[in-house]
Amino acid sequence: MITSGDDFPIHQTPEPVQQVFTSDRNFYDRFFFNGYWREGEPYFAVAMGIYPNVGIIDAAISVISGGVQHCLRASRVLGADRMDTRVGPISIEVVRPMRAIRLRVDHAEIKADLTFEGRAQPIEEPRFTRRSGPRLIMDLTRFTQHGGYSGPLTVAGRKFEASPSRVWGSRDRSWGVRPVGAQEPGGVPSRDLPQFFWLWSPTNFEDLCTHFDVNEYADGSRWHEFGAVTKADLGATLELASAVNWKVDYLPKTRHARKAEITLRSAAGETRVELETLYNFYMHGIGYGHPKWGHGAYVGPDVSTYESFKVAEIDETQPLNQHIQAVCRARSGSREGMGILEMLIIGAHQPSGFKDMLDMHP
């Protein structure tokens, strides 16, 4: 079916834009944003995903303010036009590609009209590919961009005003295949316990932006790694890291960080970023792993829901709470800034001392 997207010269196959290159139900196309006031709070994250082969678009915004995480989630039937990025009370508008994106939310508990403006050029990460036995379960491309925000955000009646010098963050765009929604049955059952180790850390300083991510197997060998450093300038040259490393000081009885250190080595030298956790943001607030509102799950033709919880009351040992973004103070030499350390550690990981599915750090 021809839609409004077909008026743009962006076709990659003989099919209309509505039809993607694969029939795999796990194909997705996603927006993600986060932002943090430099005083430490509030913190917000937004996700919107389109799943053409299951006919769903969903979105969520979650905000931590005053120690409470507020979660607004929405989902609807996709319909024919993938250019329509409204999901219930949440919408995203590409104002200037790779420069400015507008986020709007209109709900009784969360209202926002925030514009993300890039502080540096988008950073393309290496392609993510992973197999489970013979089947390719992850095959995707992603870019990350550092930026600042302007506009109002109101949470539970309290209003905050953002400006690019006061509210930093990052966004990413990813698309391809990764497990979403209900999974297809069949095949030989695996006897191996699930294992996934993931660290992702974009940080912002007054004059510098850094980026790091890594995926590791249980023995610590890596199937994906990346690092980059750039000046906080849209015209600056990007320095890609030739080697990256990390150290995590785990909080007792958790799989989450108290502190961490990221090392990025490039031809220009070594950049070291020290991270100190302020608090954790729980990714199920924007759908990641949620038992009902998980990404690509059908929950109704056009529906939304709101809930809130106190961060201090979270049980860090529960599976649903393992995927987090730790909001961090960041230091690099004499520079002081802010960033996040996203963590998802499931199963064994020898360098961290984890042996079982969900054993915690001593």
352: three-class secondary structure by DSSP = helix
Per-residue model confidence as pLDDT tens digits over 260-292: 999 999 998 999 999 999 999 999 999 999 999
Domains of the chain: 28-177+193-352 (2.40.370.10)
Residue type, 214: V
Whether omega before 42 lies within 30 degrees of 0, making that bond cis, reads yes
3-state DSSP: the chain helix, strand, coil percent, rounded to 5? Answer: 5, 55, 40
- Kindly report the average pLDDT of the chain as a whole number: 95
Q: How confident is the model at residue 189 (pLDDT cuts 50, 70, 90)?
A: low
Widest Cα–Cα separation across the chain: 57
Report the C-alpha gap between 30 and 288 in whole angstroms.
12
CA distances (Å), origin 71, targets 34, 63, 168, 262, 314? 14, 7, 21, 30, 15
Q: Are 207 and 235 in contact (CB under 8 A)?
A: no
- pTM of the complete model: 0.96
Q: Phi and psi (nearest 5°) for 10? A: -125, 15
Per-residue model confidence as pLDDT tens digits over 292-341: 999 999 999 999 999 999 999 999 999 999 999 999 999 999 999 999 99
- 43: closest CA among 21, 24, 69? 69
Report the C-alpha gap between 336 and 100 in whole angstroms.
25
Per-residue model confidence as pLDDT tens digits over 210-256: 999 999 999 999 999 999 999 999 999 999 999 999 999 999 999 99
